[in-house]
Chain A
Amino acid sequence: MGQTTAEKIFAAHLRDEPFAGTKVLDLDRVLCHEITTPIAIADLQWREKDRVFDNTKIKAVIDHVTPSKDSKTALQAKMLRDWARRHEIKDFFDVGRNGVCHALFPEKGFIRPGFTAIMGDSHTCTHGAFGAFAAGVGTTDLEVGILKGVCAFREPKTIRVNLTGALSKGVFAKDVILYVIGQLGVNGATDCVIEFHGPVVEAMSMDARMTLCNMAIEAGGTCGICQPDMTTVEYLWSFIQEEFASKEAALEAYQQWCADADADYVKVLDFDVSTLIPQVTYDYKPDCVKSAAELSGTPVDQVYIGTCTNGRIDDLREAAAILKGNTIADTVRGIVSPATPDIFKQALDEGLIQIFMNAGYCVTNPTCGACLGMSNGVLSEGEVCASTSNRNFNGRMGKGGMVHLMSPATAAATSITGVITDARTL
């Protein structure tokens, strides 16, 4: 019997199997941000074990609330900053160089096919877009990861999702993943990895693949995984060219992580996405999904474009293409947060920032910001936000606020009209 990508990565990283079914893996990356790491640091200090297993494999960023908004968030940032200095963690990203973790770390070339990575953040599943096994964990797992470079997992089962056909114009990776979550349900992939296959994924950019994998957790999945191919190699090339004689050689090496043709899946789902139309969530669970057309006309107070789901350059281009020459409704507050400084610069170079500002958007620095209701656009009781993020839980963007998840194109169209709008109808 062949192996899935996750099974191959597990086999190659197995440190220990203390009990049948429990696998302790060696970690290639332990990723840290300022919300979940400081308590791990404090606990290590309290245990008199303030050490790190390998300061080249640990990467850290201040991204959730940045620049700090108050004394408490300033303390969290300081704890992470001091710790990074103390242990000479070179890849630490502070104000001016920081961005949303799941956009920044891939962009720096930190994630490679076949890697294992953990982070104290549920959307760590994003990094599976590179053919890696990357899982969100809690602070205790993070703490042990920092100290020992290991993490324990039940070996996940794999769900294979075949995406066939071709996306029609105006339909994006976000629409695909919202649709898939609607089909799987919020716990349809618990303890499973979701492996994405098929011509639709093969045709996707890395940005789009990250959008796809980012939301695996919203179906309960441990990680979303795409198969490494030439698109992966091209994205990583500037970081790996010393390692390989040619792109073809890199491709060959990376393809050892592709699932075998006779791999065993708990479930295989086939979706022909040719007829898929833009999707939007309603209610307070990410599997409550309808078409934008069905929800069209629903008024919104705020439109938020950014986050680890859809704050990358492709996303800003999609939104700007809709906004160009338009202005947003005067009942709407538009906020756009490019996910990293490089994305911000690129958007400046391409004139996208100008388009957003001319349309009436507030452009913020790269940060998670309003996505988790902590800064830069928190909703008030009863307000509604059209957002390109990944979570619509009650109160997620502010107590009593309502969130509709959608693609950047749908969000942009919605900002123009002030009500949920299928961008293809503009």
Chain B
Amino acid sequence: MKKSFGGPVISLDRADINTDEIIPAKYLTEATKEALTPYCLEDLKLEGFDPKGEKLDNATVIITRENFGCGSSREHAPWVLEVNDIHTVIAESYARIFRQNMFNCGMLAIELPKSDIDQLMLLEKDSAGTMQIDVKLDEQSIKATGSAGEATFSFEISPFDKALVEAGGWVEYADARY
């Protein structure tokens, strides 16, 4: 089933956030995705960021920098986002496995150039926590709206990744085809 995208944003303004920071290995012994819910981004040390804070709790979109999701292949990383209703990540770039895991789960890993991310981060900061993202998958565009203004960006997505998002993930897609 296709997921919903967009919503309130949290910005994680650092490159190379790895999957150990997104979900520490000690929680990989959980046998369900739901059990991961309280541990989202638990080991991420970032100024102004609180893994137990309201901001993360409310957010359904992450904006971040280069190479997001590097390190371990654990799909627990997109899952912990998924069970916290974060279905959209917008970054300068991703580690390959994490990016594929996102699309395989029918989630959106949007890539934007640094200048666009700079602009988004600034708008988010100036809007003091009120920024929202609307995603138009068909048009391959996102619109950011906050108290300090709004901005629209277009993004590229491969037709395959788009098909996975439309199908709701790779298992559904592959099962219908192979």
Q: Does B21 contact A (CB under 8 A)?
A: yes
> What 1/0 flags go to A20-32 for Cβ under 8 Å of B?
1110100000000
**Residue in chain B with minimal CB distance to A18:** B160
Q: Does A141 contact B (CB under 8 A)?
A: yes
What is the bound-complex CA distance between A391 and B20, given in angstroms? 10
CB <8 Å contact, A138 and B45: no
B121 → chain A closest CB, angstroms: 19
> What 1/0 flags go to A49-74 for Cβ under 8 Å of B?
10000000000000011000010110
**Residue in chain B with minimal CB distance to A17:** B160
CB <8 Å contact, A220 and B95: yes
Contacts of B26 in A (CB 8 A): 373-374, 399
Given known contacts A148-B178, A393-B20, A393-B71, A140 and B33 CB-to-CB distance under 8 angstroms:
no
State which residues 126-165 of A face B: CB under 8 Å: 136-141, 143-144, 147-148, 150, 152, 154
Given known contacts A36-B73, A372-B25, A19 and B163 CB-to-CB distance under 8 angstroms:
yes
What is the bound-complex CA distance between A150 and B96, given in angstroms? 18
CB <8 Å contact, B70 and A187: yes
CB <8 Å contact, A395 and B163: no
Given known contacts A138-B73, A147-B175, A186-B70, A21 and B96 CB-to-CB distance under 8 angstroms:
no
Contacts of A18 in B (CB 8 A): 160, 163, 177
**Residue in chain A with minimal CB distance to B98:** A138
B113 → chain A closest CB, angstroms: 15
A157 → chain B closest CB, angstroms: 12
Q: Does B101 contact A (CB under 8 A)?
A: yes
Which interface class (under 10, 10 to 19, 20 to 34, 35 or more) fits B? 35 or more
State which residues 1-60 of A face B: CB under 8 Å: 15-16, 18-22, 24, 35-36, 38-39, 42-43, 47, 49
Query: How many A residues touch B, CB cutoff 8 Å?
Result: 57
Given known contacts A15-B178, A187-B93, A374-B25, A396 and B30 CB-to-CB distance under 8 angstroms:
no
> What 1/0 flags go to A76-118 for Cβ under 8 Å of B?
1001000000000000000000000000000000000000000
CB <8 Å contact, A143 and B171: yes
What is the bound-complex CA distance between A372 and B23, given in angstroms? 12
The residue that A391 contacts in the complex, of B43, B71, B98, B163, with Cβ under 8 A, is B71
What is the bound-complex CA distance between A232 and B8, given in angstroms? 54
**Residue in chain B with minimal CB distance to A190:** B96
Q: Does A121 contact B (CB under 8 A)?
A: yes
**Residue in chain A with minimal CB distance to B29:** A72
The residue that B160 contacts in the complex, of A22, A42, A147, with Cβ under 8 A, is A22
CB <8 Å contact, A220 and B21: no
CB <8 Å contact, A140 and B160: no
A26 → chain B closest CB, angstroms: 10
The residue that A138 contacts in the complex, of B25, B75, B178, with Cβ under 8 A, is B75
> What 1/0 flags go to B89-102 for Cβ under 8 Å of A?
00001111110110
Given known contacts A137-B97, A140-B75, A187-B95, A220 and B67 CB-to-CB distance under 8 angstroms:
yes
The 3 closest A-B pairs by CB, nearest first: A138-B75, A138-B101, A140-B104
In addition to A19-B158, A79-B31, A190-B93, 15 A-B residue pairs with Cβ atoms within 8 Å of each other are A22-B159, A36-B73, A39-B32, A42-B31, A43-B171, A64-B28, A122-B72, A138-B78, A144-B171, A148-B175, A152-B160, A187-B67, A187-B70, A285-B16, A372-B25
Chain A residues with CB under 8 Å of chain B are 15-16, 18-22, 24, 35-36, 38-39, 42-43, 47, 49, 64-65, 70, 72-73, 75-76, 79, 120-122, 124, 136-141, 143-144, 147-148, 150, 152, 154, 186-187, 190-191, 220, 222, 285, 372-374, 391, 393-396, 399
Q: Can you sample 8 A-B contacts with CB below 8 Å?
A: A22-B160, A138-B73, A140-B171, A141-B104, A147-B171, A148-B178, A220-B96, A394-B21
